[in-house]
């Protein structure tokens, strides 16, 4: 099984052995978003507690760096030639119908529903020993 943002570059005979789990993945993801109201968490930044304790300002630095990169991406995606980064069969205007103008909001409150689902999966899969509040995932306020 492969989990990649785009098909791998392989010789044709090897590519013939690869198939998408959901050939119509874009439609499946859009339907999930419409039904659940959730846009799944795809990337996570992690900083060890020891590093947070020894460098109190690091959470804010990482948070600001991620936000700056996201802001740059959002500015560039507005260009007519910018590729779609979510659903390749939709342009940005069509994607905004599903996700709004800013699909990756920051902060616990803006992501509470997604975090609650993630925590539930963590408990279900034995990664977490108990259900926790989303705030417990974060060592300090960034």
Q: How many domains does the chain have?
A: 1
CA-wise closest residue to 44 among 125, 93, 99, 111? 111
The verdict on residue 1 lying in a domain is: no
Position 83 scores a pLDDT of: 61
Position 142 scores a pLDDT of: 46
Q: Using DSSP, state whether 85 is helix, strand or coil.
A: coil
Tell me how far apart the alpha carbons of residues 68 and 88 are, in angstroms, rounded to a whole number. 24
The verdict on residue 20 lying in a domain is: yes
Q: Which two tokens stand for residue 56?
A: 């109190």
Position 91 scores a pLDDT of: 79
The verdict on residue 36 lying in a domain is: yes
The residue segments making up the domain with residue 36 are 12-137
Tell me how far apart the alpha carbons of residues 63 and 52 are, in angstroms, rounded to a whole number. 13
Position 1 scores a pLDDT of: 75
The verdict on residue 111 lying in a domain is: yes
The verdict on residue 142 lying in a domain is: no
The verdict on residue 6 lying in a domain is: no
Q: Is 0.75 surpassed by the pTM of this model?
A: no
The verdict on residue 51 lying in a domain is: yes
Walk along the chain (142 residues) and give the pLDDT tens digit of each residue: 787 877 889 999 999 988 888 888 889 989 999 999 898 887 788 888 899 899 989 989 998 998 998 888 888 776 655 666 688 778 778 888 888 888 888 888 999 999 999 999 999 999 999 999 999 988 655 4
Position 121 scores a pLDDT of: 95
The verdict on residue 131 lying in a domain is: yes
Could you tell me if 8 and 2 are in contact, meaning their C-beta atoms sit under 8 angstroms apart? yes
Tell me how far apart the alpha carbons of residues 5 and 83 are, in angstroms, rounded to a whole number. 13
């Amino acid at each position: 099984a492969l989990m990649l943002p785009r098909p791998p570059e392989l010789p044709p005979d090897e590519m013939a052995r690869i198939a998408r789990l959901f050939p119509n993945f874009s439609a499946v993801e859009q339907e999930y978003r419409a039904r659940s109201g959730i846009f799944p968490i795809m990337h996570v930044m992690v900083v060890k507690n020891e590093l947070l304790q020894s460098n109190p300002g690091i959470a804010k630095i990482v948070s600001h760096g991620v936000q700056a990169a996201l802001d740059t991406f959002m500015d560039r995606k507005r260009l007519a030639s910018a590729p779609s980064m979510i659903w390749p069969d939709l342009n940005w205007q069509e994607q905004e119908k599903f996700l709004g103008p800013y699909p990756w909001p920051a902060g616990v409150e803006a992501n509470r529903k997604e975090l609650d689902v993630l925590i539930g999966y963590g408990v279900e899969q034995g990664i977490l020993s108990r259900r926790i509040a989303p705030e417990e995932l974060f060592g300090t306020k960034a």
